[in-house]
Chains A and B, each alone.
Chain A
């Protein structure tokens, strides 16, 4: 079974903190993604990566950065957390283009 693991289920951070969300997949997938999910807005793509050290902006990259130093790990960084970044963050991976994506369990981040 494909496993995508996110480092935390719940996080509470203060405004202005630098926040790291970690994601690891164990199936040698090339592609990895970070989404945020908000009520009424659905899943929105923040960043994705199709190879080690490669990244592309998604639809809402502002206020975020990412790092992919190893194939299995994709990190999302909130440079200076703000209250409007309170959300559910979902990491996903897929093997190649046009195949299904597998999701981690999600991190519910609250910024106070």
Chain B
């Protein structure tokens, strides 16, 4: 089983739609989680950290489900500019290692 798994997509959604991605992780002791966004041929950039209580930043909401070992990202009112690959990142417990999922590709269509 991969340490971090994501559905590669693509998720094709119309503008204004709500879309959600999940990411599962294998190590139940993992403590730190992030969502990064990566545009084509660019570097990954932090979108948001994921806290135990869940957190929201504008149209974006991140949730952590420790019992089922997954994190989620919800995007409301999708914009064309949200088209990108979304990377789930988990820090391996007790280490400096950031473990990346292979990413979920989102295309928002006009």
Contacts and interface: CB of A to CB of B under 8 A. Distances in A.
Interface residues of B, number: 21
B31 to A, nearest CB: 6
Nearest to A42: B102
A108 B34 CA distance: 25
Contacts of B43: 90, 103-106
A45 B44 contact: no
Contact of B46 (A42, A100, A105, A108): A100
B74 to A, nearest CB: 20
A74 interface: no
Q: Main SS of chain A's interface residues? A: strand
Given A58-B97, A100-B49, A42 B44 contact: no
A45 B98 contact: yes
Contacts, number: 50
B98 A105 contact: no
A31 interface: yes
Interface in A62-96: 90, 92, 94
Interface in B65-110: 87, 89, 91, 95-98, 100-103
B42 interface: yes
B96 A43 contact: no
B45 interface: yes
Contact of B96 (A35, A48, A90): A48
Nearest to B43: A103
B46 A102 contact: yes
A106 B100 contact: no
Contacts of B41: 106, 108
Interface of B: 31-32, 34, 41-46, 49, 87, 89, 91, 95-98, 100-103
